[in-house]
Amino acid sequence: MSFPVISREHLGLLLGLIGVIIFGGTLPATRIAVAYIDPLAMTALRTAIAGLCALALLVILRRPLPPRRLWPQLVIAALCVAVAFPFLTALALKTVDASHGSVVLGILPLATACVAVLITHERPKPLFWIASVAGAAIVIAFALRQGGGALSAGDLLLFGAVAASAIGYGFSGRLTAQMPGWEVISWVLVISLPLSLPAVAFTWPADAASLPLQPWLALLYVAVFPQWIGFFAWNAGMAMGGIARVSQVQLLQPFVTFSLAAWLNHEAITWQILLFATAVVAVVAISSQVRSRKLPVVPA
């Protein structure tokens, strides 16, 4: 019995979809964890677990230390991706739903593209900047509508998370020209260990032994998968299927989050949320088509 042979391009799309599904679970799982675990402890534990896993893999594979000239960029990426983004999203999800957060974070690929434009001195077409402004306006309008005419503290924290992550992903994307993507995220997490390990010791929950299993499983998920392994599938998918083609799969991510939020968090996904998410996705899709040079799109 013969089985159909999947092409390299289709395998790349499949890996990209796996990455998107993994990243799509970040907010619903974080929402579960922060209901029981303090956001600071959640961030420390998430980053420390991922960092120890990354360190073990780098040691097993005997990967050499990155060149000294790359360390400043790795440190910036670590502070943004492994510290600021997890902490700000964890704080935000104490007060907003995962589905709400998904709409706001839907603008992240566009924010990442803007950072890439600035650090690479790229000159995109004017329509790219129009799309960027339109995307920001849609997200702000959504936040104002959901907040009754005012931005909530959760929205401000999510905007900060978008900015931090965009900067981190912009520098991470530039580093992939020097080393494989999985190695970039692994070194980013290892560099964070001097901060995350002491933070775990100081923030370990006093009632840890009495916490139910569910928040621990949610914490383990965000630490091992969205924070680390998800990048393996995503980066490999883009390498096999092409950055421009596979990155379009990321447009499905908000809808993956909606499905998981409805299932795991029992959130009501309204038509208003779906309409704003669709508008954000459309703007991101337009912006990705009008840039003068395609760069990797990195998920949340």
8-state DSSP, 2: -
Domain span holding position 243: 10-290
Q: Is residue 190 part of a domain?
A: yes
Q: Is residue 295 part of a domain?
A: no
Higher pLDDT, 210 or 2: 210
- Count structural domains, the chain: 1
Q: Is residue 117 part of a domain?
A: yes
- pLDDT value at 154 more than 60: yes
- pLDDT value at 179 more than 70: yes
Q: Is residue 155 part of a domain?
A: yes
Residue 200 banded pLDDT, cuts 50, 70, 90: very high
Q: Is residue 296 part of a domain?
A: no
260: its two tokens: 């998981």
Q: Is residue 174 part of a domain?
A: yes
- Residue 125, pLDDT score: 78
Question: With contact defined as beta carbons under 8 Å apart, do 33 and 222 qualify?
Answer: yes
Cα atoms in the Cβ-side hemisphere of radius 13 Å centred on 251: 18
**Alpha-carbon gap, residue 218 to 65, rounded angstroms:** 32
| Closest by CA position to 152, among listed 199, 73, 219, 94 | 94
Cα torsion for 66, 176, 85, 97, to the nearest 10°? Answer: -150
Q: For 34-48, 50-64, 144-158, 243-257, which range has the lowest pLDDT when averaged over its residues?
A: 243-257
Percent of the chain with pLDDT over 90: 55
Mean pLDDT (the chain) is 87
Residues 88-104: what's their mean pLDDT? 94
Residues 187-209: b if buried by 16+ CB within 10 A, e if exposed: bbbbbbbebbeebbeebeeeeee
**Amino acid identity at 92:** A
| Closest by CA position to 270, among listed 139, 100, 55 | 100
Residue 7 banded pLDDT, cuts 50, 70, 90: confident
